[in-house]
Amino acid sequence: MRTAYSVETVRAAERKLMAELPEGALMQRAAAGLAAACAGLLGRTSGTRIVLLVGSGDNGGDALYAGARLARRGAAVTAVLLAPDRAHPGGTEALRAAGGRTVDGPSAADPARVMAGARLVLDGIVGIGGRGGLRPDARIWAQAAREAGARVVAVDLPSGVEAGTGEVAGEAVHADATVTFGTYKPGLLVDPAAGRAGALRLVDIGLAPHLPEQPDLEALQHADVAALLPVPAAESDKYRRGVVGVVAGSARYPGAAVLAVAGAFGGGAGAVRYVGPAADAVIARFPETLVHAGPPHKAGRVQAWVVGPGLGDGPDARRALDDVLDSDVPVLVDADGLRLLDGDRVGARRAATLLTPHAGEAAALLGASREDVEARRLDSVRRLAGEFRASVLLKGSTTLVADGTGGPVRVNPTGTGWLATAGSGDVLSGLTGSLLAAGLGVVDAGSAAAYLHGLAARFAAGHGGAPVRASQVARALPAAWRSVRG
Ligand SMILES: NC(=O)C1=CN([C@@H]2O[C@H](COP(=O)(O)OP(=O)(O)OC[C@H]3O[C@@H](n4cnc5c(N)ncnc54)[C@H](OP(=O)(O)O)[C@@H]3O)[C@@H](O)[C@H]2O)[C@@H](O)CC1
Ligand SMILES: [K+]
């Protein structure tokens, strides 16, 4: 599991750790890890041109000390000091002593000339002390770095992103890799900031013992998902494996029912009950489905419900939604179900409720704009969970799952742009419902399902990548299970 902590928590842990260590030791640990990562990336340091972009804080100090280490290995290192009179004094001295040179950033006439021939640029403009996007001087240098074709390695964070939230208020560095210290920060895992970070590398500086047990953010990895997935034992029957009920589809959108049921089978439910007007289409594709035409509560035993995909917004849809919300088993509400949702009814439920909006649906629920939700994903998912007193899975490039009780938010690392296709959300809803029916908690079910779903899309897109349809994502779910369990 990858975990991330807020900036305040990181600062508090750093203070405790620093109190145990000699002055400057922590920065040396960071710089040593950073220099080693850069040397690894370059392969050869001797004679290699490296440019450091150095801001006014300790982030610039890390870059300068790492630059000094690389200069001692034979690299030709130039530090561009963006605030020359406030650049880290010890770091500047160490770099010069190692044979590196410094350039006054704001008064340099031609950034392109400074960058010429650089294979690596270290972004030490700003780290966890940053606020807002890149300032104009920094922007010019970040742009010159990209135009020079150098690999950009961000120190701790890509400069210009909000470390604690993943927001990007203005311009930010686009890094090929980020070397971060002590722990991941939310901005490295949540978009839009995560999309600027490139490949992540964590350098151990001894911070872990000083961090609280509960992180702010968690990202599952293969082994975590494998441990969550239900595997049938010899004595399992369909109820032990979980029966999931799917209330989805309409005369107009029968396909949504088929895709949600496909997802439900892909989640390993012992049985899938379908309730709604698209039974013929469902049976034609999945003859093993148990179909029912009456109200959901008369459908037979169900251990979790999925309601909403392609449901439409007529009176039948509303009745079916309310019927399911009156049940005492976990309920996942998606798509049209979210448009019809009665917040009081959700708040009054005793069993768990999981809302699974995409950004547009989340915006409607929050009375915000879609752009706002996309720009502030972490804040949006937490607000939704708080307002509806429910768990929320916010779909998108970095899908988030919040439980509404202030526990860690889960962020999905397997997402892919290929998933932005009609019907892929229907597959996810069925898949998640299946895991709920098997007895997983809402956050575990949502995050494990998002993980498998992303992986399945990647497998369906294949090596190199090709467009996929939602039904292909569902078909690739067994491969995703095998990959995780193997
Ligand atoms: N603490 C530790 O133990 C360890 C910390 N470590 C390292 O220290 C980093 C944190 O260092 P930090 O606290 O000095 O802050 P930092 O991020 O360098 O920037 C602060 C300065 O930037 C400025 N600034 C603000 N916004 C800006 C913007 N948008 N664009 C441009 N400039 C902007 C602002 O200046 P001002 O607003 O006054 O002009 C402020 O003074 C951390 O990320 C890690 O790399 C490691 O060595 C491990 C041990
Ligand atoms: K940085």
Q: Which residues line ligand 1 (CB under 6 A)?
A: 14, 18, 26-27, 30, 55-60, 62, 125-132, 134-135, 138, 155-156, 160, 181, 205
Residue 380 marked in a binding site: no
pLDDT of residue 236: 84
102 C-alpha vs ligand 1 centroid, how far in Å?
A: 19
Phi-psi region of 416 (alpha: psi -120 to 50; beta: other; left: phi over 0): beta
18 C-alpha vs ligand 1 centroid, how far in Å?
A: 16
Instruction: Show which of 176, 200, 219 is a domain's final residue.
Output: 219
Are 285 and 161 members of one domain? Answer: no
Q: Which residues contact 405 (CB under 8 A, 6 or more apart)?
A: none
Are 415 and 307 members of one domain? Answer: yes
50 C-alpha vs ligand 2 centroid, how far in Å?
A: 16
pLDDT of residue 406: 87
Q: How many residues does the chain have?
A: 486
pLDDT of residue 124: 98
Are 250 and 157 members of one domain? Answer: no
Instruction: Show which of 188, 219, 250 is a domain's final residue.
Output: 219
The one-letter amino acid code at 52 reads L
Are 442 and 394 members of one domain? Answer: yes
Count structural domains, the chain.
Answer: 2
Are 180 and 228 members of one domain? Answer: no
Residue 9 marked in a binding site: no
Are 206 and 251 members of one domain? Answer: no
Are 208 and 231 members of one domain? Answer: no
- Of the candidates 347, 427, 348, which has an alpha carbon nearest to the alpha carbon of residue 385? 347
**Which ligand gives the minimal distance to the CA of 138?**
1
91 C-alpha vs ligand 2 centroid, how far in Å?
A: 15
Instruction: Find the farthest-apart pair of alpha carbons in the chain and give their distance in angstroms, rounded.
Output: 81
Are 191 and 264 members of one domain? Answer: no
Q: Residues within 5 Å of ion ligand 2 by Cβ?
A: 123, 154-155, 159
Q: What is the pLDDT of residues 424-479, one digit of tens each?
A: 999 999 999 999 999 999 999 999 999 999 999 999 999 989 999 999 999 999 99
Question: Best mutation site among 58, 86, 137, 203 for ligand 1, i.e. most ligand atoms within 8 A of its Cβ?
Answer: 58
In a 10 Å sphere around its CB, with 0-12 CB exposed, 13-18 middle and 19+ buried, how is residue 49 labelled?
A: middle
Give 271's strand partners. Answer: 243
Mean pLDDT by 10 residues, the chain (486 residues): 97 97 97 98 96 98 98 98 98 98 92 96 98 96 96 98 97 98 98 97 98 98 97 85 96 96 96 97 98 95 98 95 97 98 94 98 98 97 96 97 93 92 96 97 98 97 93 98 96
Are 208 and 261 members of one domain? Answer: no
Let me know: does 196 contact 173? Beta carbons within 8 Å.
Answer: yes
Ligand 1: which residue has its CA nearest to atom 38? 56
Are 419 and 285 members of one domain? Answer: yes
Q: Long-range contacts: 345-348, Cβ < 8 Å, 24+?
A: 346/388, 346/389, 346/390, 347/388, 347/389, 347/390
Could you report how far apart the first and last alpha carbons of the chain are, in Å? 17
pLDDT of residue 323: 97
Are 214 and 230 members of one domain? Answer: no
Query: Which tokens go with 58?
Result: 């300790």
Instruction: Show which of 219, 234, 249 is a domain's final residue.
Output: 219
pLDDT of residue 288: 97
CATH number at residue 395: 3.40.1190.20
Are 108 and 230 members of one domain? Answer: no
Residue 58 marked in a binding site: yes
**Domain region containing 55:** 2-219
CATH number at residue 124: 3.40.50.10260
Collapsing DSSP to helix, strand or coil, 50 comes out as strand
60 C-alpha vs ligand 1 centroid, how far in Å?
A: 7
| H-helix or E-strand spanning residue 296 | none
pLDDT of residue 318: 96
Residue 127 marked in a binding site: yes
Residue 408 per-residue DSSP state: P
